[in-house]
Amino acid sequence: MLNRYGLYYDSSMSISSPSWPYTLDYKIPHSCAVKPCPVQSHPGMWEVPMETLKDVRGGTCSMADGCFYDEDPASIQKIFTQNFLDHYTKSKAPFPLFFHSAWFFSRPHRQEGFFRFLDSILALPDVYFVTSQVSWILGKKDC
């Protein structure tokens, strides 16, 4: 269905460990948390998995508005920084971020904490931001 409507990637599968985007040419390389899961081959369709974030209570969430954290800019920055460092210092897999737009607008301190997080990681010499669409285009050129 996605391909029929001109879409080339999906970001609806949550995973609990760092992963690189992959194609659905073959079986998915992780367990599937939310059914139904793809069981057939979908050549050329990319998956940009939703990595779960770890919150301050030890829980996990795929999107920031599902996590628990203290509601102040420093705590917002801290939760993203801690999760980012798991990727940056270990697997080097992309650190995808997924949000509902209301998360930013319902409480202004969240935007402030998130921008602090972005500024801090952009100070690192080997950190780049790309959209899922750009990731797909770059991956397609390498195939």
- Mean pLDDT, the chain, rounded, equals 84
CATH of residue 127's domain is 3.20.20.370
Whether the predicted pLDDT of 136 surpasses 60: no
Residue by residue, DSSP assigns the chain as -TGGGT--EE---EESS----EEETS--SS--SSSS---S-EEEEEE--EEPEE-TTS-EESSGGGS---SSHHHHHHHHHHHHHHIIIII---------HHHHHH-HHHHHHHHHHHHHHHTSTT-----HHHHHHHHHHH-
- What does each C-alpha distance from 69 to 10, 75, 78, 120, 132 come to in angstroms? 28, 7, 9, 19, 26
Query: Contact 98/63 with Cβ under 8 angstroms?
Result: yes
The predicted-structure confidence for 19-69, as pLDDT tens digits, reads as follows 888 888 888 888 877 788 888 888 888 888 888 899 888 888 888 888 888
Question: What is the predicted pLDDT for the residue at 134?
Answer: 54
Query: 69: domain range?
Result: 3-142
Question: What is the predicted pLDDT for the residue at 143?
Answer: 44
pLDDT higher at 3 or 108: 108
Whether the predicted pLDDT of 103 surpasses 70: yes
Whether the predicted pLDDT of 4 surpasses 80: no
- Place 118 in a pLDDT band, splitting at 50, 70 and 90: very high
Question: What is the predicted pLDDT for the residue at 48?
Answer: 87
Question: What is the predicted pLDDT for the residue at 21?
Answer: 87
Enter the pTM of the model: 0.80
pLDDT higher at 11 or 122: 122
Number of domains in the chain: 1
Q: Residue 95 and residue 85: Cα distance in Å, rounded? A: 9
Query: In the chain, pLDDT over 70 holds for what percent of residues?
Result: 90
Question: What is the predicted pLDDT for the residue at 63?
Answer: 85
Whether the predicted pLDDT of 138 surpasses 60: no
Query: Contact 41/25 with Cβ under 8 angstroms?
Result: yes
